[in-house]
Structure 1
C-alpha cells in the first residue's frame, strides 16, 4: 500500500503466518522467564558476587536498590510476550471468522424467475 502499485488489496493477512508466528512469542516468553528465574536464584544464592573492590561496590550500590524493579520489569516482559501469543491466536481465529462472514454476505444468490437480469426490457 502507498507504493504506487495498487494490487487491489487493502490487507493481505495470512492466518497461517499469524498461527506460525504466535508460538514464537510464547516460547521466547518461557525462555525469558527461565533466564529471569536463573538470574534471581543465582544472585540471591551468591549474596554479593560482584566483589568487595571499588568496581564491585559501585555495581552493588547501583544494582541492589534497583534489583526488585529490574525483576518486576522482566516479569512484565514475560507476561507481555505470553499475551502477544494469545492475542495473535485470537486475531487469527477472528480473521478466519470474519472472512467466513464476509464470504457469506457476498455469495451469489440466484434470482427467482422474473427478478433481476433485465434482458431486453421493453
Structure 2
C-alpha cells in the first residue's frame, strides 16, 4: 500500500508523461486488471467444479481462517440450502396452480404456515438423503 506521499509522487510521474506514454500506461494497467479478473474467474470456476468433500479438504489443507473459510464456501457455491428451499417453494406453488380447477381454489400457504414448514422439512430431508 502506498503512502499518501508515494501516491502523489506516482501521480505526478504519470501526469508528466507525454500523452502517448500516458495512454500506454493506462492500457498496461487495464491489461493487468483484465488478467487479474480472468484469474479470479478461473479460480472461482475451479472451486465450483469441486465436490463438497474436495472443498472441505482444500480448506483443511490450506488451514483457512474462519472468515476466509466462509468466503471460500460462498465462492464454491455453498448457500445453506437456499437454492433447494427456493426450488421447493416454486414447485409447491406450481403444484397448487396445476391442481386447482378454479382460481378461487388456489391457496398456497404462507412460508411460515406450520403444515407447509413441516412438509417442507420432510420433503427436503428426503431429497438431501439422495444428494
TM-score category (smaller protein): 0.3 to 0.5
- Higher RCO (CA-CA < 8 Å; seq separation 6+): 1
Larger radius of gyration: 1
- TM-score (norm. length: structure 1): 0.33
